[in-house]
Structures are given as C-alpha cells and as structure tokens.
Amino acid sequence: MERSLSKSLFLTISLGLVTLTTTSCSSNIENVPLGQASSEWDFDHNLQFKKTKFDEHNYQLEVIPNSKVSFERLSVFLLRRSYLICQGYGYKLELIKGVESFDHFRASPNLIMPNLTAKLECPITQ
C-alpha cells in the first residue's frame, strides 16, 4: 500500500510539472507584444524562424537558414506556416529578402545569404 501511494504521488507530481511546463511555453508565444518578434523552432523541418505580429492580419516571417536545410524546403516551410497562421488560403505573401539565385553558389561561393524574410497578409473574413 505504501508503494502504491508513493507511485501515485510521483505520477501526480510528474503530471503537474508537465502541465506547468507546457502551459508556460505556450503562453510565452501568445503574450509577445505587437511588433516584437517571437523566435520559434520547428522540429519537423529542423529550422528556426521568427514571427512578428503587427495586427490580427499582418505578420512578418523570417526563416533562419542552416546548412542542413535547402532553400526549397525553407520556401515551402514559409508557404505552409503562412497557411497555418492565416488558417486557410487567400493570404498574400511578399518576399522581402533572402531569395537565392540559381547560380549564386557558383557566382559567389563565399556569400552569406540573409534570412528568408517575408511579409504575410491574411485575408479579412467577414
């Protein structure tokens, strides 16, 4: 009985810590002030990105490249993240900087590319 009680107490404390950790992580993303970038990590695509919310329909997304992720995957990630943020199609995505040319490795082998940055405008639903 004592062993069962200690096991139950351990499970309750563990569940409480997991809930507290999950709640604190998710609330940090939502409590970022307007106009300030929140840095996030996408574990599925193994890349880091920043999301800046200006108002309910306007965002700026900045995908931070690493050597393991190709430009094609970065751009597809940008499209998919835009779809998730706007909760559907009809969004407008304007690339600001970071687009690679087809021959940029050959023309400038030591060029450090800037982050892939875009402005996102979600459609206004009525």
Query: Could you tell me if 115 and 64 lie in one domain?
Result: yes
pLDDT digit string (tens) for 73-83? 888 899 999 99
Structure tokens at 121: 């405008």
Question: Looking at the domain assignment, is residue 64 inside a domain?
Answer: yes
Query: Could you tell me if 79 and 50 lie in one domain?
Result: yes
Question: Looking at the domain assignment, is residue 6 inside a domain?
Answer: yes
Residues 6+ apart with CB under 8 A from 36: 52
Q: Is the pTM of this model over 0.85?
A: no
Total domains present in the chain:
2
Question: Looking at the domain assignment, is residue 63 inside a domain?
Answer: yes
Query: Could you tell me if 110 and 64 lie in one domain?
Result: yes
Query: Could you tell me if 90 and 111 lie in one domain?
Result: yes
Question: Looking at the domain assignment, is residue 126 inside a domain?
Answer: no
Pair type for strands 92-97 and 37-42: unpaired
Query: Could you tell me if 8 and 40 lie in one domain?
Result: no
Long-range contacts of 45-49 (CB under 8 A, 24+ apart): 45/69, 45/73, 45/77, 47/73, 47/74, 47/77, 49/77, 49/81
pLDDT digit string (tens) for 27-86? 344 577 787 888 888 887 778 899 999 999 999 999 987 777 777 888 889 999 999 999
What secondary structure letter does DSSP report for 54? S
